[in-house]
Structure 1
């Protein structure tokens, strides 16, 4: 049990808060980071960046280094004991670690300052600690702080909403299940790479395009995930080279993903059997095969296609190949530098 002396207790909008300094040698024992994949499901923060923490540790070696306050949720584990003759000035008796709301990498740097750089000098670490916060309150404070700075990535927000939003849950399952064509192709909280070209937010948007307000929207979450798996598994089979190539084709791009999602909705609707309440999987295969001559190469007919205009154009081409009828655009489209006949050829 660790005690922090010379603490000020006050109240902020109905919440009890403590302000003071904890000693740097105690920082690791007195704090825990609620990472996004925390086992109890209440985590929300990005993965720990060791290099960033080490850079802060080296900064602390400078004579003019300044430690800024960290923000904590004591989670009811810190008890305030006022000094004699005072009501709001005293000590905190810490019976467990506080949850770090802001200051993850500063605390990591402080730990490396002692353990890796082997400094024994004790540093006072200023803090503001809420006596107790509900997980939703804690996350809201974190969101407010970081949205005005680096901000939460859209994909991390998707991950955090996994238990509240159906399409977020479907996207995560598609990204994490080994039987999914998207397995090992999706990044959750970091930037996309050539190995993992899709973000969780991209995948969620694709799911929404296929499923929202469709005849099969009433299917269970598991059935919806299976439907998207069946369709994109067939896409990955028909366009095997483009699906597995890291840089030569545009299928593994946001434009490619959302273009396939747009035509995929129509394909699944065409294969839907309302009497059986499921799809004719043979019909899905037949319709997807009709797109097999489409050239996804970055040096071919869609080399200039990008963004929303490119996505709309590619969607129209794919729809024309499958159904031999163009999609009626919801809003005017810029004239493309290529035409459907060249693609269908």
Structure 2
């Protein structure tokens, strides 16, 4: 590496040298605003090739940035327990980096487009939303110097090929360890209770991680149930969790917000048992209305699987608020009245009538609304 022009503004930080089969790279820590300033993403794009041969050339290695994902991360970085424990990976050309062996520091110009992002562009984009002081959020970085473009592409491809998405049910299950309240923890506790309580309409029907129930009876994943329930507890799950972590209590809802999420205030009042009872009564009414379709586990049946369950969870709001008793228990018999006029039979809940996925869910929900004669609010 060469010495940088003395007149140019630079940033300097500690690094350790690491050698692996691919070559040598440097591991250090940078302040978030410095990282945002010097980094850039080389987006994969189609360029004009040799006109004589009509060759199309792709350049760049990164995927397009997702603005929604960046905003989501931008919200996360301002949470009380935000963390990025894995390294952002950068490539810097030799003329823009100087490593001092004696002090184990690396010096780079403090200007735009110095460090190409090989992994972490969404994290960096999210850090632009960080509201604290400059460089208050430190980021561990891995820096490659003067790496061939082919090797850069291999690093990017290897990282993204070998990454495994975390099982959503595992994420839901891990909230059991949380000390503070949150929509996630409440949903986890309720789902677990409904799965374990003898007599529950969900008894041993939920796929809970780490349990050895009868797998042939399990039709709904823990994550699917938890995510559906949380929609009725909060319109901003991350913010609510952050407020609890800071020792405060999120606000209750009123008006349209409460109509959309009618279990919200029960959640804020820590009435998890009552929430579980309401959900129990609702699905017990469904089990009594369609006992075969609810209990039977067969490839062609959908009522007790995600297609049917998600439609039923959407219909829950309409059924519950129709009694004008938000914040109170709606009894089993009251919920049974809702389903009384619905003429669907057990055999109707099949994959032919309701295709797996959002189309089948939407069709079933629409029919539940129309056949129950509920007035949508």
The TM-score, its normalising length taken from structure 1, stands at 0.46
TM-score by length of 2: 0.43
